[in-house]
Amino acid sequence: MSINQNVYGTSSQWQDVHTYDDSIAAKDRVKAVYFGGTNYYDNNLRLGNSAGKTPINHAIDKSLSYCGLGVESAYSHFKYYDILDIQAATVGNTLQPFFTENRTITNFAFTIGNSNRPSDQTFLNARNTTNGNNARYAPTTGSIDNNTSRLSWFISYFAFNNFIALIYVHCFNGTFTDGRPTNGEKVTLYNYENDVNGIRTSKPYIYAVTIHPFTRYNANNDRMAMQATNDGKAIEILDSYNGGTSEAGAPFYTYGALQNDNDGEFLIHGLVTGRGTASVQSGIAIPPEHTIFQIACIPDTWSLKLTKKNSDYVNQQTVRAYDESFYEETMRAVACFGLFFTDKLSIAQSGDLDNDEMYCGILVDGIGHGDYSHGQENKQQPQYNKSSNDIDYDPYHPPEVDPNLYNGKMQTHDLLTLGTATKRYNVNMINMELALLPKLWDIMALADPDENLTDYSLKTFLVNNPIDCIVSLQWLPVKEMYTGAATTIKLGRYDTQVSAYPAKNSIRYDCGNYKIWPREGNNWIDRQVQITLYLPFCGTVSLDPETYMDKSVNVEYLIDLTTGTCTAVVSFVGAGGERVITDTASGVCAIDLPVTGIQQQTLNSQLFNASESVKQLKVNNAFKGFSSIMGAVQSLNGNPSGAIGGILGATQDIYNIFQSEKIADYNLQHTQIPMKMIGTSGGITGAMCEIYPTIIFSRPTVDYDKDAYAHSNGFATCESGLLSGYSGYTEVTNVDLSGFDATAAEKEMIKSLLASGVYL
Amino acid sequence: MTITFYQSPDDPRTVNKTMNGIGGGEQTLSASVNNTEDTISLLSPSFIVASNSNYFSATHIYVASMGNRYYYINNITLMTGGKMLISCSIDVLKTYATSIILCKGTILRSESVGNPTMIIDGRLPIQTNNRIIDCDNFPDTPFTLGVNVSPYILSTIGGSSL
């Protein structure tokens, strides 16, 4: 869509230089970039304004926008940060936006400040209005005062093949000095990504990404960088601020000048304006509760940090830590502008448009979504031979676009430490079986012989029955369940002096990715495979081969160490490593060890027929039975001494706890000592199975002579094209037989023969 | 009208068949047509020619005067008077071979794709009811049955010493 010359002035009056050097010969200027000026009296916004064509507080004509920036561009999602939130934050904090815009398509203009251009001086005073408040939609008239100018020239025309954007990365070491990035440095994206001279290693943080146009004003010269000016360059938005409307319903929220301070370059990612206010410097009027704000043009991988704060001044900066996704994220952001672009200086200066390191943003119905071509593919792009006025994009009748970004994330998280009323210990085998449990024998023996056992128990263990001190004992076949420094096990107030480590509450364990390789050539036969994922303790999950073939699957375990439950999280792994959780399976991986003791009150009442010595022994040794109850299978009635021996007996019996799943049941059924059970028998059998997640494949048998089959049948396909592109046995349908003379009957015969199979 | 005899070793379904001469290697044999009838069918013609035993090895005839068409020889009938009746039918594939390969169409089966594709092929003899089972483990697991580990989690009340 061509620029509306009724608003922006006739093209013959557009300034046809791209530098501020008037030495360019007139005959060469046709190749250059053209500018319309807001302060060029005869053909600018002022003229439009005075003629009533661009009134104040009305959207400016969008025809300057040669393409639309898609929903993928950060320019469609400006983030606004309230100054009050900034002032309340601590230096180093990441700030959260109070509002994020959401445009499906963003129209824009490239503008360049030129307040020092001598010929402007005569207009400085002429452009002020009485109130100096020319809030309008950009391109801007900006804030007005008599001495400084924010009035901008805007790019009204350029040939795509003479406007090459070179991408620059503004990097630093991650620290801030006086609120500004320390030793900030600007390098090309190529040099940064390839760590030339160690720049990325020494400065692994980025605070801005910009582009600098390179143009060639003479066919015999290399391209030159467009000159910077003191006011720098800005990308102005021509659309409404979509934060809402005033209470009166009128859309009084407007854009104005969007400035940035990046060495005279066009900002791609970073701070858009130093400080927006409801006044006209930014030209944006927003809800009164957010009267002063900061704007950032950044995707979600970036953040805005508070870098300096004193009594009357705050400073903030956009920051991103480098990672392997930075390069592609940056390339795609630039590609939205539909320009030829490169990450390398030499290509910007002299690279041909079909050079392998020259890229071109792909426009779909005039919208840039971040895709780009390179090398020979660039010749297929309409920009190869067109100017900014020739693109078939109408900002007033934009195409329907999918507003969804499809960049969602699904991930698991570590839980915060949960406070509990119990102490939890991770104990090794030796300490548990040979140190702790035998030690429990001695606890009650420490009681004063004259002291009532119940009182001793209460005083020492805080409970009537010492066994109640132990909330649970679990055996888990899980790695690294401990955290922190070693300690000793305490029961109530009693310190057993047995060493143990504090136990974690939960574990999140990544079992890794597994790539499911197609073994038959990645064709339909591979999709006949049945894939089952065995998950220890959790069962099995079926994986759809149509989804997972030639892709990676990830398994992550979430284990709750307080209850022993576990959940296996199965995720599809995308090309960029991003995970989408597709299935979960849960189970129990803990074996609750029945820890029993004698229920004293019940025992007393049930053993009234037993001999006095046995009874007394039982009462006094109630706690001694604690450590070896699992071995106590003998009846008290039959052999009191033997039973006592069994109870006292063997720490060896402890080993039986987890080696026989029937002990708990047997005890319940056979013992006549009233046991108090804590916990129930748990998932022993799960631990007896495979403990690695395992993929099981069930493949059909493939056994045939491939060449013979191909020659007599061909392989099933569904392609369209010229028959000359195929050979051998071929079956063709829907063939277009135009272009040669044959009778209708002959053509029918040809169609029939092609459909039944011919040899080309 | 002159007709020329050829012998083609190719499958009748071949589009651009190889046409070899008969009766002496590279030479082709031609014959003058002595049809007594007034009509000759364009698609299923019959030609009466002087007998020549070499014609028996021919598979095709080419008739330039009938639009440069190639015909299959379906039958040869020996006639009295030293004549042969050659019964033919049009070979559209050879006749229009050059034009056919320049046409566009939808390819449903092809030898030259080389391998099975994503399109399910009902003719391919794979045995989905005869399967092979194998498995592979993930690289890591949170579980262990090792002896030198701490497998117990003990939960207790309290924790302050006497």
Structure-block tokens of residue B66: 């009938």
Mean pLDDT computed over A618-643 = 38
A727 in contact with B at a CB cutoff of 8 Å?
Answer: yes
Q: What residues form DSSP beta bridges with B154? A: A425, A473
Give the residue with greater pLDDT, A41 vs B65.
Answer: B65
pLDDT attached to residue A647: 39
Strand A359-364 to A340-342 pairing: antiparallel
Q: Which two tokens stand for residue A679?
A: 């916990």
- Whether chain B has a CB inside 8 Å of the CB on A732: the answer is yes
pLDDT single digits (tens) A127-142 = 223 333 333 333 333 3
Q: Are A324 and A192 in contact (CB under 8 A)?
A: no
* Positive/negative CA dihedral, A614, A616, A622, A623: negative
Range with lowest mean pLDDT among A10-19, A273-282, A497-506? A273-282
Determine contact: B81 vs chain A, CB below 8 A: no
Whether A288 contacts chain B with CB within 8 A: no
The dihedral built from the CA positions of residue A410, A411, A416 and A418, taken in this order, carries a sign that is positive
Give the chain B residue whose CA is nearest to the CA of A564. B153
Residues 6+ apart with CB under 8 A from B148: none
* pLDDT recorded at residue A420: 64
In terms of average pLDDT, the best of A330-339, A645-654, B23-32 is A330-339
pLDDT of A759 over the 50 cut: yes
Average of pLDDT values for B102-130? 91
Does A733 reach chain B within 8 Å, measured CB to CB?
yes
The confidence score (pLDDT) of residue A59 equals 59
Nearest CA in chain A to B156: A470
pLDDT value of residue A520: 87
Q: Please state whether the predicted TM-score (pTM) of the whole model is above 0.90.
A: no
Q: Using the CB atoms, write b or e for A195-227: b if 16+ within 10 Å.
A: eeeebbeebbbbbbbbbbbbbbbeeeeebbbbe
Whether the pLDDT of residue A602 is over 80: the answer is no
Q: Which of A732, A741, A756 to probe by mutation at the B interface, max B CB count within 10 Å?
A: A732
State whether A491 and B158 contact (CB < 8 Å): yes
| CB–CB contact B145 A691 (8 Å) | yes
State how far residue A589 is from chain B, nearest Cα, in angstroms. 9
Q: Which A-chain residues 553-612 have CB contacts (< 8 A) with chain B?
A: 555, 557, 559, 561-562, 564, 589-590
Contact yes or no for A732 and B105 at CB 8 A? yes
Dihedral of CA atoms A481, A485, A490, A495 in degrees, nearest 10, equals 150
Cis previous bond, A139, omega within 30: yes
| Residue where the block lists tokens 């081969």 | A545
The secondary structure element, H or E, covering residue A173 is none
- Tens digits of residue pLDDT in B80-97: 888 888 999 999 999 999
Nearest to A423 among B102, B137, B156 (CB): B156
- A523 has a chain B CB within 8 A of its CB: yes
Identify the burial level of A468 via C-beta atoms within 10 angstroms of its C-beta, where 0-12 means exposed, 13-18 middle and 19 or more buried.
middle
**CB A745, CB B43: distance < 8 Å:** yes
pLDDT number for residue A333:
97
Q: Give the least confident one: A74-78, A489-493, A639-643, B30-34.
A: A639-643
Provide the token pair at A742: 């044959």
Contacts with B15 from chain A: Cβ below 8 Å: 758-760
Interface with chain B: mutation pick from A488, A497, A498, A523, highest number of B CBs within 10 Å: A523
Give me A161's structure tokens.
């093949």
Q: Is A384 on the interface with B (CB under 8 A)?
A: no
Q: What share of chain A is helix, strand, coil (3-state, %, to 5)?
A: 25, 30, 40
